Amino acid sequence: MRRATLFVVAALGLVVAAQAAAHAEIAPKRVPAGDVSTFTLSVEGEKSVPTVKIAMQFPSGMANMKPATVPGWQASLGARVITWTGGSIAQGESGEFEVTGQFPRTPGKTLKFPVVQTYGDGSVVRWIGAASSETPAPTILLGAAVTPPPPAPEPPAATTPTTPTTSASEDEDDDNGSAGWIIGAAIVVGLIAAGAALLWRRRS
């Protein structure tokens, strides 16, 4: 009787473990705050009917969300929700959906990404609960913020070689000075010549 009880407990434990392992999960679990990072959403098929639709809501504060191409699936981006349709995930298999986005600069904050999994028979599993619940929402922890690189030094300002020039007034002053010197010299020469002529006449 005791062995039978232990067997039943062990079997129930295996069932619970199998259910606990069947989650919608995100990897990596941690990314730098304020960085553009890529993560992968993994969703496992749990029922005999295939999963035909996945919808994931991303937190406010994220930007530039870009789902990667997944063969067999079509991705559409709405108001903070990415939806994948057209493909299928069989029981026991996992579908992986890669997304790139700009994370907010809030180090230490845990971001929640609620996921709704729809099966071919119309049944829905909502992975939106707390970490301790049976349907926990995928999460990502924001690590230390990425330090932006220092700005590149500005290039030196272009300089244009200049040719020294003189103003018109300076040129005029130079011309006036030269003309005055010439006139003065002519007057001196004239006086000397007149004096010499007068002296010659007196002697003669």
What CATH number should be reported for the domain holding residue 33?
2.60.40.2230
Task: Flag whether 122 is in a domain.
Answer: yes
Chain mean pLDDT for the chain = 80
> 151 in a domain, yes or no?
no
Q: The domain containing residue 105 runs over which residues? A: 23-143
In a domain, 16, yes or no: no
**Domain for residue 180, yes or no?**
no
Decide if 34 is inside a domain.
yes
Does residue 153 lie in a domain region? no
Within a domain: 11: no
Phi, psi of 75 (to 5 degrees): -105, 140
pTM for the model stands at: 0.64
- Overall domain count for the chain: 1
pLDDT in tens, the chain (204 residues): 444 443 333 444 443 443 445 589 999 999 999 999 999 999 999 999 999 999 999 999 999 999 999 999 999 999 899 999 999 999 999 999 999 999 999 999 999 999 999 999 999 999 999 999 999 999 999 999 977 656 777 777 766 666 655 555 555 555 555 555 566 656 655 666 666 556 555 555
**Residue 192 lies inside a defined structural domain of this protein:** no
pLDDT digits (tens, 9 = 90+) for 29-77: 999 999 999 999 999 999 999 999 999 999 999 999 999 999 999 999 9
